[in-house]
Amino acid sequence: MKQLTVDIKAKGLIFDLDGTIADTMPVHFSVYRDILKDYGVDFTWEIFGTLAGIPAVGTFERINQLYGLNIQAEEMGHFKEAEYEKRMHLIRPLDPVVEIIHTWHGRLPMAVGTGGYSRLAWKTLEIIGLSHLFSILVSAEDVTQHKPHPETFLQCALLMGVEPSFCQVFEDGVLGMQAAEAAGMMAVNITEYL
């Protein structure tokens, strides 16, 4: 297995949360899958993967388009997050990324840039024992444009006081990788290291 490393040019590190720091994606997927069964949708892991990084309300908007449904996205997005919270105890850390966080904490500024909601993001970090290592977290509520738009990561860079070109982003999603590249940052797809 390849070793996950920090680029020698990096002056700040930005981490996606779901699927990057914490193995939350199977938990999110199981909730979406259970909800969509009631609508007669066989929601697949492949389709779910294309929606990674989009907040729950936006995900249901996309699901409506993909499957020709008329789900109330706002209402169902909040319901989905409540159901997810009931299963959060199943979350596990992703060790190669956690190792980078522990190694570089206090040496380089670090931030979390997530498409998730702030309260649940902090709870995730708490569950896996990392909340004390971050003071900067940019969530879905903190930006107007979500991944693949670069706003989330650019806001992280601003709060860290690091020029975007010197930020290294650790991501697992296609939209997140696109956002990092659009921000002019060094992007690492962590799925190649798991």
In the chain, CATH 1.10.150 sits at: 25-89
Tell me the CATH architecture of domain 12-24+91-193: 3-Layer(aba) Sandwich (3.40)
Residue that the structure tokens 């930020």 belong to: 167
User: Which amino acid is present at 158?
Assistant: L
In the chain, CATH 3.40.50.1000 sits at: 12-24+91-193
- Would you give the DSSP letter of residue 190? G
d(C-alpha 140, C-alpha 77), whole Å: 13
Percent of the chain with pLDDT over 90: 93
Q: What is the mean pLDDT of residues 34-53?
A: 94
Residue 134 has pLDDT above 90, yes or no: yes
From 7, 16, 18, 38, the catalytic residue: 16
* pLDDT level of residue 194 (50, 70, 90 thresholds): confident
What SS3 state is found at 171?
A: strand
Q: Which of left, alpha, beta for 163 (phi over 0: left; psi -120 to 50: alpha)?
A: beta
d(C-alpha 50, C-alpha 1), whole Å: 25
Q: Is 42 a catalytic residue?
A: no
- Would you give the DSSP letter of residue 3? P
| Among the listed residues 185, 175, 177, 191, the one whose alpha carbon sits nearest the alpha carbon of residue 62 | 175
| pTM for the full predicted model | 0.91
* pLDDT level of residue 52 (50, 70, 90 thresholds): confident
The answer regarding whether domain 25-89 maps to CATH 1.10.150 reads yes
